[in-house]
Amino acid sequence: MSETPLVRPRGLRWEPLTVGIDIGGTKVLAAVVDSFGHVVEVDRRPTLGHDVRLVEDTIVDLVTSFAQRHDVGAVGIGAAGFVDATRTTVMFSPHLDWRNEPLRARVAERVRLPVVVDNDANMMGLAETRFGAGRGHRYVLCVTLGTGIGGALVIDNKVFRGANGMAGEFGHMQVVPDGHRCECGNRGCWEQYASGNRLVREARELIAAGSPMARHLRDLVDGDPERLHGPLITQAARDGDPLSIELLNDVGDWLGVGLAGLTAAFDPSCVIIGGGVSDAGELLLEPVRRAFSRALTGRGHRQEPVIVRAELGPQAGMIGAADMARSAARRSRRGRVRQARRDAAGRRRLFARPD
């Protein structure tokens, strides 16, 4: 159960509960969420391999379980990958064997509820804008830092998806011609220089090379670079390890420059940084803001957006998915009301007496 007090945000009205699901490469997180963004109940299941049907079964089992205890009105599903503009089909997912998968139809048929599907970064961006660090801002740019970089642009509480539903793939902007090879197949993508992937890659290389600078990190993993991961580097930076601090500074510099470019394109009033790497807090955000201010076009002659850390943590994807599902529930209710009115009008005409 959520420990967050149920305080009613101004301008929001109470609506039915919805289910939000966040699908990752190793786990499926699910929650029942109210219309104020408060998590009522949460559950977690492992992602059983890459089999599409097993993941679908897990989603259905979670929704069915929640529905036995709560009156839920719709389901939202966030998935890493490309989701089409109609929010029905996962075109491609790097972590699961989804290729043109009609996920909405398959799940809706089994749970008998309205279902909406979208990219997980869009879900996080919507949640942070409505209930988290972006509250009060009309133009919000969200960036999630994990192994790669995801993102979302939210305008007036609506996610901008582009012509094909695939906007926000900021991590695959090319920033270094012929640079590091990216998992997408191209070279020099932004996420190869400003993500957890870069942070861990460089630290492992220094450990393997026997660099004296990496002594502390080497001791943490008993000399095995493959055991090193992002949270260890972040903790080492908090403990004052000079190399770890420097590596976070380097990531922050690249991140700030990239965000300055995105600000030149979209002119947000708020930039939110989330994902696992953001756990470094000001150790990351300070170099980000510094590099951003140096690189921003028109600096000194324009209002700079605030750059803040995401507030909702790992629950953001579930909260955003549930909130997006609530819109689907509203449309479904309106559709049922319109149909009922049409049916009633038809019956009145059928039984009307002739003049």
Q: What percent of the chain has pLDDT over 70?
A: 88
**94-137 pLDDT, tens digit each:** 767 788 999 999 999 999 999 999 999 999 999 999 999 999 99
Cβ–Cβ under 8 Å, residues 276 and 313: no
Separation between Cα atoms, residue 276 and residue 189, nearest integer Å: 19
168 and 68 inside one domain: no
* Domain total in the chain: 2
305 and 318 inside one domain: no
Query: Quick one: 172 exposed, middle or buried, by C-beta within 10 A (0-12, 13-18, 19+)?
Result: middle
For residue 304, being part of any structural domain is answered with: yes
Q: What is the pLDDT of residue 4?
A: 37
Q: Is the pLDDT of residue 14 over 60?
A: no
Range of the domain at 83: 17-125+314-340
Across the beta sheet with 149-155, the strand order is 158-159, 149-155, 139-145, 270-274, 306-309
Cβ–Cβ under 8 Å, residues 130 and 152: no
Per-residue confidence at 328, pLDDT binned at 50, 70, 90?
A: confident
The CATH number that applies at residue 86 is: 3.30.420.40
Write down the pTM of the prediction: 0.85
290 and 212 inside one domain: yes
For residue 281, being part of any structural domain is answered with: yes
For residue 183, being part of any structural domain is answered with: yes
166 and 291 inside one domain: yes
Residue with tokens 């970089």: 149
